[in-house]
Structure 1
Amino acid sequence: MTVLAAGLALLGSLFFALGAALQQSEAVSAGRPTLRHLARRPRWLLGGLAIGVGTALHVLALRYGPLTIVQPMGVASLLFALPCAAALGRRRPRPGELAAAAVIAVGLIGLVTVVPQHTGDPRLSTGGAVTLLAGAATVALALWVAARQAPPAGRAVLLALAAGVLYGATATLTRVLVYGNWEFWFLLAVPLPALIALALLQRAYAVGHFGVAFAALQVADPLTAVAFGALLLGEPLPTGVASTLTALAAAALTAGGTVALARTTPLSPHIR
């Protein structure tokens, strides 16, 4: 069952990466990278379908294997995404891109594996849900404002980080919904941050630095979910000297790889 879970998670990562690459390609070439305009483009919609399939496979993998096995496999989407994007752009991925992405992947795997599994049912009060949404919105807004004054690579990173924070908040709220410990308005609140995150991510893709934008998303999403899980749901964080040192080393690898990827990823000629 563990092998099956790992295989499903890897296949899901491939679909997720392909969908992201398709959507980035369309966002770059679109006259206006807004959801209203992109939703009229078949390849962008196909990318959304691929992302949906990848997400479904990831959820299915969690039914057959533990989080500690499935989540690291999801990091492979970063390694799959760069060759997919390069193929769509009719070029070969650069060795520096793949090396930087591999460093980020190792760092993310390290961060994911040191987080202890939470065995209890997650519960979130009304006040906690408001804090979750308001906190994510505040951070995302600050990143969006900073992105307006940043150079292209920095703009892509900041917009993708903002999207990742909102996706992480959505994932935290969804986790509560799955376990049935929620109020009706939680269900109504879930789509809003997800839609805003999707719009921000298309803006990040439209800048042209796909590799670093996708990497920033992959970093911000799980780390935000872990942070909110610890602060609002009572989920555990790494303890002990070994786990702490591993987490710090993994964070350093992730940050260093992201900076390197920003310097190596080619910029599309279509800059928004």
Structure 2
Amino acid sequence: MTVLAAGLALAGSLFFALGAALQQFEAVGAAGPALTRLLRRPRWLLGGLAIGAGTALHIVALRYGPLTVVQPMGVASLLFALPCAAALRHRRPRRGELASAAVIAAGLAGLVLVVPEHGGPPSLGIGKAAALLAAAAAVALALRAAAGRVSPAGRAALLATGAGVLYGATATLARVLVSGGVELWLLLATPVPALFALALLQRAYAVGHFGLAFAALQVADPLTAVAFGALLLGEPLPTGVASTLTALAAAGLTAAGTVALARTTPLSPAPGPTGP
């Protein structure tokens, strides 16, 4: 069953990577990253279906295998996404891109593996949920404001990080839902940060630095979910010297890979500003 879970998670990562590459391709080619324009593009919608299929496979994988096996498989989407994006543009992925993505994936896997599994069912009251949404929104808005004052690579990273924070908040709410905490207010609240994250991510994709944007998303999402889980759901964090050293080394790998990926050439040139 563990092998089945790992295979399902790996297949989910492939679908997620393909969907992200399709959506970035359309976001760059659109007159603007507004969702109203992108929703009229069949290839962007196909990317959304692929992401949905990848998410469903990941959830099914969690049913058959432990978190410590399934979650690291998700970082494989970094290695799948760059070849998918390059194929859409009829070119081969650069070795530097794939090497940087592999370093980030290794770092993320290390971070996930040192997080202890939480045995009890999580619970979240309305007050804590409001605090979660407010904190995620504040961070995302701050990153969105800062993105307007940096280089294109920095803009892609900041916008995608903001989207990752919002997706991490969504994952925290969804964890409570799938664990049996089904309440009307929670069902209504969960899609809200996801929708704003989707819009923010399309702005990141439109800049052109797909590898960097996708890596920033993959880093920010799980780290935000772990932080919210520890602060609001009472989930444990790594303890002990070995776990701490492993987490620090994994974080260093992730940071180094992200910096290296930021120095690569964007998949397509970012358009200049056309108005205020």
Interval containing the TM-score (normalised by the shorter chain): over 0.9
Aligned residue runs from structure 1 range 147-186, under 5 A: 147-181=147-181, 183-186=183-186
Report the equivalent of 1:80. 80
Measure the CA separation in 1 of the matches of 2:218 and 2:265. 16
Unaligned regions of 5+ residues in structure 2, if any? Answer: none
- Aligned-partner residue type, residue 90 of structure 2: R
Residue-by-residue CA offset, 1:191-226 (whole Å, 9 max, x unaligned): 111000000000000000000000000000000000
Shift of 1:270: 4.1
TM-score, with structure 2 as normaliser: 0.97
Alignment partners' CA distance in 2, 1:271 and 1:27: 12
Q: State whether structure 2 residue 206 is matched by structure 1 residue 206.
A: yes
Distance 1:53 1:2 in 2: 20
Identity of aligned residues (%): 80
Distance 2:160 2:201 in 1: 5
Letter in 2 for 1:11: A
Is the 8 Å Cα contact of residues 207 and 269 (structure 2) preserved in structure 1?
A: no
Q: Which runs of 5+ in 1 are unaligned?
A: none
Following TM superposition, the consecutive aligned residue runs of length 4 or more in structure 1 with deviations greater than 3 angstroms are: none
CA displacement, residues 99-131 of structure 1 (integer Å, 9 cap, x when unaligned): 000000000000000000000010111111011
Residues 25-44 of structure 1 mapped to structure 2, 5 A cutoff: 25-44=25-44
Q: 2:18 & 2:69 partners in 1: Cα distance?
A: 22
Counterpart contact for 1:2–1:65, Cα < 8 Å: yes
Cα distance per residue 1:152-199 (max 9 Å; x no partner) = 000000000000000000000111112233542121111111000000
Q: Which residue of 2 is the match for residue 259 of structure 1?
A: 259
Alignment of 1:228-247 (within 5 A): 228-247=228-247
Q: Distance in 2 between matches of 1:86 and 1:267?
A: 8
Aligned residue-pair number: 272
TM-score (norm 1): 0.98
Residues 207-249 of structure 1: CA distance to partner in whole angstroms, max 9, x if unpaired? Answer: 0000000000000000000000000000000000000000001
Q: Is the 8 A contact 1:29 1:270 kept in 2?
A: no
Q: Establish whether residue 190 from structure 1 lines up as the match of residue 196 from structure 2.
A: no
The CA distance in 2 between the partners of 1:217 and 1:98, in whole Å, is: 17
